[in-house]
Chain A
Amino acid sequence: DAKTTQPNSMESNEEEPVHLPCNHSTISGTDYIHWYRQLPSQGPEYVIHGLTSNVNNRMASLAIAEDRKSSTLILHRATLRDAAVYYCILSLRGNSGGSNYKLTFGKGTLLTVNP
């Protein structure tokens, strides 16, 4: 399984941008890069995903290196509600059909947002 490496923790100030890095040097050509986050006592929440090109949505931006061996999740203006564990995951297309994107979660990055 292709693995990801993330810093254990990061700190930011409210209303400042946050750049969360992820290394995935063994990524394969068909692996999608997913980001989820988990707030305390809640299930994970989808943030964004991408394959090769940079992606933007209402929550965040995903910048993917040209060689795809690393990516960065960008929160443009951190809020207190963004404090969570952020997981960078490579999808592993498993058995039982073409839409099985079972996710293997690592330890993630604990983001603290200071007021």
Chain B
Amino acid sequence: GAGVSQSPSNKVTEKGKDVELRCDPISGHTALYWYRQSLGQGLEFLIYFQGNSAPDKSGLPSDRFSAERTGGSVSTLTIQRTQQEDSAVYLCASSQSGIMQYFGPGTRLTVL
């Protein structure tokens, strides 16, 4: 079956611009996570959605980062006024149980 998909696969932007990254989770998965992986670093948790519950935003690095999940399915991660340190691979994962997470291929963001 279809896995987690993310778009775009690559995004190059200029410092100060806003970007939107999209995640389509596996159908029926109620839990959705966003992570990011900077060059040479491990994955860093950003935000978690579960059904209609309030999201866990504890990993968002600044108020320039926000995310929403519409209709319990597709999620969009928005980064406003991008900075060079935002350059990373942004990964989305979905899960039915929460324990086994299925990751998408990621979006590579480059901020010039």
Query: B102 touches which one: A46, A101, A104 (CB < 8 A)?
Result: A46
Closest Cβ–Cβ distance, residue B66 to chain A (whole Å) = 16
A44 and B91 alpha carbons, distance in the complex (Å) = 9
Identify the closest chain A residue to B42 (Cβ). A105
Complex interface: stretch among B12-20, B51-59, B70-78, B79-87: B51-59
B35 to chain A, nearest CB (A): 8
Name B91's closest neighbour in chain A (CB-CB). Answer: A43
**Residues of A contacting B: mostly:** loop
Q: Are A94 and B58 in contact (CB under 8 A)?
A: yes
Task: Write the B94-105 contact mask toward A (1 if CB under 8 angstroms, else 0).
Answer: 010111111111
A binding-site residues for B, Cβ under 8 Å = 32, 34, 36, 42-46, 49, 87, 91, 94-108
Sorted from nearest, which 10 A-B pairs have the closest CB atoms?
A99-B98, A43-B103, A105-B42, A105-B43, A95-B56, A96-B56, A102-B45, A101-B98, A97-B50, A96-B53
